[in-house]
């Protein structure tokens, strides 16, 4: 029974100090349509691993320079997230060696003389498991990303906002750097919905989110929709002057979208109000107080006539 086509492209790293063992393993696995690379000891194996990133490592235990146990330990350190399948193939049959092999991260263990049908199945299964594991990890990462993204506007959602705000708050506290938070709220948006309908309202929010994203582009900055028609911008390492610049540009960009709003009481177009605050987080200060300060500034902007920012 041959390996299936997907596995046939898999790359096997054979590590053994005996040329004869390497040769018979190579011959057998090449017949199974695997690609093969070889190493003569642990040190060569690590170099080769870094160079070609094989799908599986067949690892002898006793070798000069660096043995299989040490090599396996080092492989886990190199790529701890990738779950490299290491299959130990060794003459050592004692309990201690078996235990040690699994402790240092080997995924499977077979003894010499090699039972070829068993080897074939183990190699096949280990590669399949590792590929499945990698796919699951990719799906998991994507899911983690999705739960922090707002489905409508594709900026961060409230959860993404809260996680990032907390993270950057802690970082700015450690680094004693200024953190700025801008809160934006669309003016008279209830009447916008009442006038144009909820779907047009949604499209308006998408445009506003995009306009904000186009301005807030520095790596480390985050745009979020933290409420219905409320957006937040987190600006790490940004002082009052920087935040003033960004807040002004955001208000201006929304004005320039020139989205008609015939029932707005401040303009013929959709506008936003914004409030921001800048702090260097201290040990005894807390981030809810920072959020509340930005919210108070936003309220002041509303009270002062909307279509403006206050800090």
- HEC letters along the chain: CCCCHHHHCCEEEEECCCHHHHHHHHHHHHHCCCEEEEECCHHHHHHHHHHHCCCEEEECCCCCCCCHHHHHHHHHHHCCCCCCCEEEEECCCCHHHHHHHHHCCCCEEEECCCCHHHHHHHHHHHHHHHHHHHHHHHHHHHHHHHCCECCCCCCECHHHHHHHHHHHHHHHHHHCCCEEEEEEEECCHHHHHHHHCHHHHHHHHHHHHHHHHHHCCCCCCEEEEEECCEEEEEEECCCHHHHHHHHHHHHHHHHHHCCECCCCCCCCECCEEEEEEEECCCCCCCHHHHHHHHHHHHHHHHHCCCCCEEC
Minimal distance, residue 212 CB to ligand GH3, in Å:
15
Nearer to Mg ion by C-beta: 17 or 38?
17
| Residue 303 found at the interface with ligand GH3 (CB under 6 A) | no
Among 2, 51, 145, 198, indicate the residue that binds ligand GH3 (CB under 6 A): 198
| Residue 307 found at the interface with ligand GH3 (CB under 6 A) | no
| Residue 38 found at the interface with Mg ion (CB under 5 A) | no
In the list ligand GH3, Mg ion, none, the entry touching 44 (Cβ below 5 to 8 angstroms by class) is: none
Binding to ligand GH3 by CB under 6 A, coded x per residue (else -) over 135-174, reads ----------------------------------------
Nearer to Mg ion by C-beta: 7 or 307?
307
In the list ligand GH3, Mg ion, none, the entry touching 190 (Cβ below 5 to 8 angstroms by class) is: ligand GH3
Binding to ligand GH3 by CB under 6 A, coded x per residue (else -) over 226-245, reads --xx----------------
Contact residues for ligand GH3 (CB under 6 A)? 185-191, 193, 198, 201-202, 205, 228-229, 302, 306
């Amino acid at each position: 029974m041959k390996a299936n086509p997907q596995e046939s492209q898999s790359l096997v790293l054979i590590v053994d100090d005996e040329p004869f063992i390497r040769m018979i393993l190579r011959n057998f696995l090449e017949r199974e349509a695997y690609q093969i690379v070889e190493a003569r000891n642990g040190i060569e194996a690590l170099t080769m691993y870094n160079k070609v990133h094989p799908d599986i490592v067949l690892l002898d235990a006793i070798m000069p320079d660096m043995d299989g146990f040490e090599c396996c330990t080092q492989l886990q350190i190199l790529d701890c997230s990738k779950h490299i399948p290491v299959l130990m193939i060794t003459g050592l049959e004692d309990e201690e060696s078996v235990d040690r092999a699994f402790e240092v991260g080997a995924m499977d263990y077979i003894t010499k003389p090699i039972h070829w049908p068993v080897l074939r199945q183990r190699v096949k299964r280990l590669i399949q498991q590792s590929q499945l594991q990698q796919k699951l990890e990719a799906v998991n990462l994507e899911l983690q990303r999705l739960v922090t993204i707002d489905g409508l506007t594709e900026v961060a959602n409230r959860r993404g906002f809260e996680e990032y705000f907390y993270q950057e708050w802690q970082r700015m506290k450690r680094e004693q750097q200024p953190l700025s938070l801008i809160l934006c709220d669309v003016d008279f948006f209830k009447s916008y919905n009442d006038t144009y309908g909820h779907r047009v309202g949604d499209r308006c929010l998408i445009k506003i989110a995009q306009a904000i994203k186009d301005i807030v582009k520095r790596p480390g900055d985050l745009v979020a929709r933290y409420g219905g028609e409320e957006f937040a911008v987190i600006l790490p390492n940004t002082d009052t002057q920087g935040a003033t610049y960004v807040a002004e540009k955001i208000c201006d960009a929304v004005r320039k979208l020139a989205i008609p709003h015939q029932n707005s009481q401040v303009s013929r177009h959709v506008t936003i109000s914004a409030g921001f605050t800048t702090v260097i987080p201290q040990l005894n200060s807390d981030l809810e107080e920072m959020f509340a300060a930005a919210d108070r500034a936003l309220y002041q902007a509303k009270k002062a006539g909307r279509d403006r920012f206050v800090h």
